[in-house]
């Protein structure tokens, strides 16, 4: 079974790489399979599998998928690392 994680584009690294925030964890992701990376995709949501963006999805679908993944992992009460108090 394979799992793709939803994430939001935060910045562009180069023409084939973007930084994606996946539930508070940011990673550089290869965007070649979805047409490459440029400024027009900042803020859009994608599914990421093994370091590659494989499909663009809606913000709603991204949020629901992340909610379900957290529920499966038993983390549904945790929003993101950023929202935790020190």
pLDDT of res. 84? 45
Tell whether 44 is covered by a domain: yes
* Residue whose pair of structure tokens reads 């939803």 in the numeric block: 6
Tell whether 69 is covered by a domain: yes
pLDDT of res. 83? 45
10-residue stretch averages of pLDDT, the chain, 86 residues long: 90 98 95 97 97 97 91 70 44
Tell whether 32 is covered by a domain: yes
d(CA 16, CA 22): 18
pTM for the structure as a whole: 0.81
Tell whether 82 is covered by a domain: no
Q: Which domain holds residue 20?
A: 5-77
Q: Residue 47 belongs to a domain with what CATH number?
A: 2.30.30.140
Enumerate residues 6+ apart whose C-beta is below 8 A from 21: 7, 8, 10
Tell whether 55 is covered by a domain: yes
What's the number of domains the chain is made of? 1
Q: DSSP character for 80?
A: -
């Amino acid at each position: 079974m394979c799992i793709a994680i939803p994430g939001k584009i935060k910045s562009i690294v180069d023409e084939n790489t973007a930084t994606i925030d996946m539930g508070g964890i940011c990673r550089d992701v290869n965007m070649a399979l979805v047409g490459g990376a440029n400024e027009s995709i900042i803020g859009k949501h994608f599914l990421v599998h093994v370091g590659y963006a494989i499909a663009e999805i809606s913000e709603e679908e991204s949020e629901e998928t992340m909610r379900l993944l957290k529920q499966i992992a038993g983390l549904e009460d945790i929003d993101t690392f950023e929202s935790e108090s020190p």
